[in-house]
């Protein structure tokens, strides 16, 4: 049984067209209604409109990525109860339209973070990169987050201070802009004032409290998903460690186990991202795939290359620190045992060839993902052929 091959599409304004994705060999698209404000209801009308666009292009849409969880829910403030009720309505509407997998994350304030969105590799292609010292520069000296100095030791603060002295004004501006990128699918960056305001609302919320809030959310929505025939699939934190003084609670094997055990249900599971989990050297990716095999509903297959001190960049799909052959072998075995075809997408492809001159969502240019998909399909073909 082979994986259901998809790519992410950000909707009608995405510079990567549906026809591009179909020509890449994908049978489906994963997408979301990015134009609907976080916390509002996804109506049947809007879901069906997006679904028709995809089906008219000759593909299917069964995986939502993502139905976002509002910060009100994450910190249980302001309109959190209404947002949970709205989320339940959106789940029912999604199920009524034939959707099957609901991807979400529980990262506070910001989504994924990178300090460089066009890091040049030796071959001239460009990748996403996270460098700890540059993030400390942003946090301490550009954003000037109150209390940030308490999250760094003296050596890290000195290193960041030395680093900013060597940076040009243009480099500082680029770093500031990269760290304040908006949510996926949005062209609007956050402002420093917005981020600082939101961070203040999380005062007093530690890792334990944020996990409690996540589990409460799941206790409310998982029964609705199960009743409707949906599955909930959480995406791990990216990067998988604390940033901006905010706790991260979906970064390790223990975090994933805690989530699954918090609400035992066939509708409560994982979007297993080999890149996010793989950015930590204490996560054994093949072992985690084995342990959580029955709770994995969606796959992000990408590779990261770890460097010293928590730095990492997006490697080619078959390079980096994760053995993609071993990963795909494990996936093939779990699919055979469960008699399912899991939806998969290549992730965070390099910007290369003709895409180098195009404006695309960072990590989501067409050609780099096409290359990644072709490589993954080749490995899968070899694995399946060898097991038959």
* Residue pLDDT, tens place only, 147-184: 999 999 999 999 999 999 999 999 999 999 999 986 66
Q: Known catalytic residue: 273? A: yes
DSSP helix/strand/coil, 125: coil
- Give me the residues paired with residue 246 across strands: 243
DSSP helix/strand/coil, 101: strand
Q: Please say if the pLDDT value at position 52 is more than 70.
A: yes
Sign of CA dihedral 373, 374, 377, 382: negative
Task: Determine if residue 120 is left, alpha or beta; phi over 0 gives left, psi from -120 to 50 gives alpha, anything else beta.
Answer: beta
- Give me the residues paired with residue 63 across strands: 30, 101
Amino acid 73: pLDDT:
98
Catalytic residue among 179, 228, 273, 350: 273
What angle do helix axes 44-56 and 80-96 make, rounded to 10 degrees?
A: 40
Contacts of 38 by beta carbon, 8 Å cutoff, 6+ apart: 68, 70, 71, 183
DSSP assignment of 261-309 = HHS-STTEEEEEEHHHHHTSTT--HHHHHHHTGGGEEEEEE-EEEE-GG
Q: Known catalytic residue: 364? A: yes
The C-alpha atoms of residue 341 and residue 329 are separated, in whole angstroms, by 14
* Residue pLDDT, tens place only, 305-346: 999 888 999 999 999 999 999 999 999 999 999 999 999 999
Residue 230 pLDDT grade (very low, low, confident, very high; cuts 50, 70, 90): very high
Domain boundaries, the chain: 4-110+205-306+316-387, 116-196
pTM: 0.96
Catalytic residue among 300, 313, 317, 350: 300
Catalytic residue among 34, 83, 317, 348: 348
Q: Known catalytic residue: 317? A: no
Residue whose structure tokens are 């080749």: 378
Amino acid 184: pLDDT:
65
Query: Across residues 24-39, what is the average pLDDT?
Result: 96
Q: Known catalytic residue: 348? A: yes
CB distance 76 to 113 below 8 Å: no
Report H helices in the chain: 18-23, 44-56, 71-75, 80-96, 132-137, 154-165, 169-179, 192-201, 207-228, 253-262, 274-278, 285-291, 324-338, 366-387
Query: Across residues 110-134, what is the average pLDDT?
Result: 95
Domain spanning 4-110+205-306+316-387: which superfamily? Divalent-metal-dependent TIM barrel enzymes (3.20.20.150)
Q: Known catalytic residue: 347? A: yes
The C-alpha atoms of residue 94 and residue 96 are separated, in whole angstroms, by 5
Catalytic residue among 20, 71, 237, 347: 347
Amino acid 240: pLDDT:
94
Amino acid 148: pLDDT:
97
Q: Known catalytic residue: 350? A: no
Q: Please say if the pLDDT value at position 294 is more than 90.
A: yes
* Residue pLDDT, tens place only, 344-370: 999 999 999 999 989 889 999 999 999
The C-alpha atoms of residue 131 and residue 114 are separated, in whole angstroms, by 8
Catalytic residue among 83, 235, 317, 350: 235
Amino acid 309: pLDDT:
85
* Residue pLDDT, tens place only, 194-226: 999 999 999 999 999 999 999 999 999 999 999
The C-alpha atoms of residue 328 and residue 334 are separated, in whole angstroms, by 10
Amino acid 363: pLDDT:
92
């Amino acid at each position: 049984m082979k994986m259901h091959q998809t790519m992410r599409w950000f909707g009608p304004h995405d510079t990567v067209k549906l026809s591009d994705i179909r020509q890449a060999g994908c049978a489906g698209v994963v997408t979301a209604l990015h134009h609907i404000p976080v916390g509002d209801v996804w109506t049947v009308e809007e879901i069906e409109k997006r679904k028709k666009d995809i089906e008219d292009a000759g593909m299917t849409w069964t995986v939502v990525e993502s139905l976002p969880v509002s910060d009100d829910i994450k910190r249980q403030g302001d309109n959190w109860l209404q947002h949970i009720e709205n989320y339940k309505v959106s789940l029912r509407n999604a199920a009524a339209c034939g959707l099957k997998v609901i991807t979400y994350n529980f990262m506070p304030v910001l989504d994924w973070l990178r300090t460089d969105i066009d890091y040049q590799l030796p071959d001239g292609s460009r990748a996403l990169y996270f460098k700890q010292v540059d993030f400390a520069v942003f946090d301490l000296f550009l954003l000037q987050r109150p209390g940030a100095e308490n999250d760094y030791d003296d050596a890290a603060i000195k290193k960041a201070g030395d680093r900013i002295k060597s940076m040009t004004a243009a480099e500082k501006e680029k770093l500031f802009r990269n760290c304040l990128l908006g949510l996926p699918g949005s062209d609007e960056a956050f402002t420093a004032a917005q981020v600082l305001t939101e961070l203040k609302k999380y005062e007093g919320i530690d890792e334990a409290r944020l996990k409690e809030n996540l589990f409460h959310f799941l206790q409310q929505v998982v029964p609705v998903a199960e009743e409707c025939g949906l599955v909930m699939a959480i995406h791990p934190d990216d990067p998988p460690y604390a940033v901006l003084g905010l706790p991260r609670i979906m970064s390790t094997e223990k975090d994933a186990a805690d989530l699954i055990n918090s609400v035992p249900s066939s509708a409560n599971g994982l979007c297993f991202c080999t890149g996010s989990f793989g950015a930590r050297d204490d996560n054994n990716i093949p072992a985690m795939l084995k342990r959580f095999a029955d709770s994995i509903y969606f796959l992000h297959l990408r590779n990261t290359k770890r460097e010293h001190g928590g730095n990492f960049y997006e490697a080619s799909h078959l390079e980096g620190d994760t053995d993609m052959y071993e990963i795909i072998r494990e996936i093939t075995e779990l699919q055979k045992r469960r008699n399912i075809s899991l939806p998969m997408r290549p992730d965070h492809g390099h910007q290369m060839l003709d895409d180098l001159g195009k404006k695309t969502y960072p990590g989501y240019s067409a050609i780099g993902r096409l290359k990644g998909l072709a490589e993954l399909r080749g490995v899968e073909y070899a694995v399946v052929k060898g097991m038959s």
